[in-house]
A and B are shown apart, each in its own frame.
Chain A
Amino acid sequence: MSLLERYVQPTESQMPTVSHQGAIPAGQPTCTIWIDGHEVTAVVGEAILRAAQRAGFDIPTLCDDEKLAPAAACRMCLVNVEGFDRPMPSCHLAVEPGMKVTAVSDELFKLRRQNLEYILSDHNAYCMPPCQIGCPTHIDIPGFLELMAKGQHVEAGRLLKETLPFPYALGLVCPAPCQEVCRRGLVEEEIAIRQCHGYFGEVYLEMDEAPTPFPQRTATGKRVAVVGAGPAGMTCAYYTALNGHAVTVFDQMPKQGGMLRYGIPEYRLPKVKLDKELNSVWQLRDTEFRGGMALGRDFTIDDLLAQGYDAVFLGIGAWRSNELRIPGEDLPGVIEAISYLNQNARGDPVPVGKRSKVVVIGGGFTTFDCARTSRRLGADVTVVYRRSRKEMGAHYSEVDDAEHEGIRLEFFAAPVRIVEKNGRVGGVEFQRMALGEPDASGRRRPVPIEGSEFVIECDTVIPAIGQVPNLDWYDRSPGLRKSRRETIVTNGALMTDRPGVFAGGDVQMGAVTVIQSVAQGKLAAKAIDRYLAGDDMAAVAEEIDEEEKVPELIDIVPYKPVEPQVRMPFLPFEQRVRSFDLIESGYDKAAAEKEAARCLQCVCPDVGRCHLQRLSLEHGLTDNRFHRAEPVDYHDYEYDFSHDFILRDLNKCINCTQCVRICRDVIGANCYGLMGAGYDSIVTTPWNVSLQYTDCVSCGACAETCPTGALMMRERDLRTYELDVVRCIYCGDCVEVCPHGALGETPNFELASYRRFGTTVLAKEELAVARTWKPSEHIPANGDGKAAVRPPEVRPPAPPRWGA
Chain B
Amino acid sequence: MPANPTLLEARATRALEAIGETTPDELVALIERSGLRGRGGAGHPLAHKLAAARAAAATSGASPLVVANAYDADPASPLSRTLITRGAAAIVDGVAIAARIVASSEAIVYLHPDAKSERAAMERAIAERRPRLGGLDVTTALGPGGFMGGEESALMNVLESRRAMARQRPPYPAQQGVAMRPTLIGCAETLAWLPLIVDGGAAPLTKLVSVTGAVRAPGVYEVALGTTLGAILEKAGGADGALKGIHVGGPTSGILAASRADVRFDFEDLAAAGVHMGSAQVRAVPATACIVAEAARLWSYLERENCGICVPCRVGTARVTGILEGVQSQLGRESDLAWLGELGDHMAAFSLCGFGLTAPSILRTTMREFAADYRAHIDERRCPTGTCAVVRSRRYETMAQP
B309 touching A115, Cβ below 8 Å: no
- Kindly state whether residue B160 has any CB partner on chain A within 8 Å: yes
- Kindly state whether residue A655 has any CB partner on chain B within 8 Å: yes
B394 touching A630, Cβ below 8 Å: yes
Chain B 307-323 against A: per-residue CB contact (8 Å), 1 yes, 0 no?
11111101111110010
A114 touching B342, Cβ below 8 Å: yes
- Kindly state whether residue B266 has any CB partner on chain A within 8 Å: no
Q: List residues 152-200 of chain B with CB under 8 A from any CB of chain A.
A: 159-161, 163, 165, 167-168, 170-171, 176-177, 179-180
Chain A 65-78 against B: per-residue CB contact (8 Å), 1 yes, 0 no?
00000111111001
Find A75's partner among B167, B352, B393, B395 (CB 8 Å cutoff): B352
CA gap between A623 and B394 in the complex, in Å: 19
B317 touching A679, Cβ below 8 Å: yes
Find A625's partner among B160, B167, B396 (CB 8 Å cutoff): B396
Pull 7 A–B residue pairs with CB atoms less than 8 Å apart, ordered by A.
A86-B357, A181-B402, A186-B399, A629-B394, A633-B396, A654-B311, A681-B306
Inter-chain CB contacts under 8 Å: number? 164
Count B interface residues, CB 8 Å.
54
Q: List residues 42-76 of chain A with CB under 8 A from any CB of chain B.
A: 70-75
A14 touching B346, Cβ below 8 Å: no
Across the A-B interface, give the 9 residue pairs with the lowest CB-CB distance, nearest first.
Answer: A681-B308, A181-B402, A118-B315, A72-B168, A679-B318, A627-B399, A628-B397, A10-B176, A678-B304
- Kindly state whether residue A13 has any CB partner on chain B within 8 Å: yes
A86 touching B319, Cβ below 8 Å: no
Complex contacts, B161 vs chain A, CB 8 Å: 1-3, 5
- Kindly state whether residue A122 has any CB partner on chain B within 8 Å: yes
Complex contacts, B319 vs chain A, CB 8 Å: 118, 121, 626, 633
Beyond the given pairs A73-B352, A625-B339, A679-B303, 19 more chain A to chain B contacts, judged by CB atoms under 8 angstroms and listed by A's residue number, are A2-B161, A3-B161, A5-B160, A72-B310, A75-B350, A92-B168, A115-B311, A115-B346, A118-B315, A555-B401, A622-B401, A623-B401, A627-B399, A628-B399, A629-B394, A655-B308, A678-B306, A681-B306, A681-B307
Chain A 81-122 against B: per-residue CB contact (8 Å), 1 yes, 0 no?
000001101001100000000000000000100110011011
B308 touching A676, Cβ below 8 Å: yes
Shortest C-beta distance, B353 to chain A (Å), equals 10
Complex contacts, A121 vs chain B, CB 8 Å: 315, 319
Shortest C-beta distance, B289 to chain A (Å), equals 24
Q: List residues 344-368 of chain B with CB under 8 A from any CB of chain A.
A: 346, 348-352, 357
A657 touching B309, Cβ below 8 Å: yes
Residue of B whose beta carbon sits closest to that of A85: B349
A626 touching B396, Cβ below 8 Å: yes
Question: With A7-B179, A673-B163 known to touch, is A679 a contact of B168 (CB < 8 Å)?
Answer: no
CA gap between A302 and B319 in the complex, in Å: 68
Shortest C-beta distance, A216 to chain B (Å), equals 36
CA gap between A66 and B392 in the complex, in Å: 44
Complex contacts, B397 vs chain A, CB 8 Å: 625, 627-629
Complex contacts, A555 vs chain B, CB 8 Å: 399, 401
Question: With A678-B303, A678-B308 known to touch, is A11 a contact of B346 (CB < 8 Å)?
Answer: no
Shortest C-beta distance, A53 to chain B (Å), equals 19
Question: With A114-B342, A115-B350, A673-B163 known to touch, is A630 a contact of B392 (CB < 8 Å)?
Answer: yes
Complex contacts, B400 vs chain A, CB 8 Å: 623
CA gap between A626 and B308 in the complex, in Å: 19
Question: With A73-B310, A118-B319 known to touch, is A624 a contact of B352 (CB < 8 Å)?
Answer: no
Residue of B whose beta carbon sits closest to that of A654: B311
Residue of A whose beta carbon sits closest to that of B304: A678
Question: With A2-B161, A674-B165 known to touch, is A679 a contact of B314 (CB < 8 Å)?
Answer: yes
A677 touching B352, Cβ below 8 Å: no
Complex contacts, B348 vs chain A, CB 8 Å: 86
Complex contacts, A673 vs chain B, CB 8 Å: 163
Residue of B whose beta carbon sits closest to that of A182: B402
Residue of A whose beta carbon sits closest to that of B326: A629
Query: Size class of A's contact patch?
Result: 35 or more
Residue of A whose beta carbon sits closest to that of B160: A7
Shortest C-beta distance, B186 to chain A (Å), equals 19
CA gap between A118 and B314 in the complex, in Å: 9
Complex contacts, B343 vs chain A, CB 8 Å: 114
Residue of B whose beta carbon sits closest to that of A72: B168
Chain B 378-402 against A: per-residue CB contact (8 Å), 1 yes, 0 no?
0000000000000011111111111
CA gap between A222 and B160 in the complex, in Å: 76
Find B396's partner among A115, A183, A627, A674 (CB 8 Å cutoff): A627
Find B304's partner among A623, A626, A677 (CB 8 Å cutoff): A677
Most buried by A among B177, B315, B397, B401: B401
Q: List residues 205-248 of chain B with CB under 8 A from any CB of chain A.
A: none
Complex contacts, A732 vs chain B, CB 8 Å: none
- Kindly state whether residue B146 has any CB partner on chain A within 8 Å: yes
A133 touching B402, Cβ below 8 Å: yes
Shortest C-beta distance, A603 to chain B (Å), equals 15
Most buried by B among A7, A78, A118, A180: A118
Find B349's partner among A111, A181, A629, A681 (CB 8 Å cutoff): A111
- Kindly state whether residue B305 has any CB partner on chain A within 8 Å: yes
Chain B 286-309 against A: per-residue CB contact (8 Å), 1 yes, 0 no?
000000000000000011111111
- Kindly state whether residue A700 has any CB partner on chain B within 8 Å: no
CA gap between A655 and B306 in the complex, in Å: 14
B314 touching A655, Cβ below 8 Å: yes
Complex contacts, B171 vs chain A, CB 8 Å: 10-11, 14
- Kindly state whether residue A134 has any CB partner on chain B within 8 Å: yes
Question: With A118-B316, A629-B395, A677-B146 known to touch, is A655 a contact of B342 (CB < 8 Å)?
Answer: no
Complex contacts, A629 vs chain B, CB 8 Å: 322, 326, 392, 394-397
Residue of B whose beta carbon sits closest to that of A626: B396
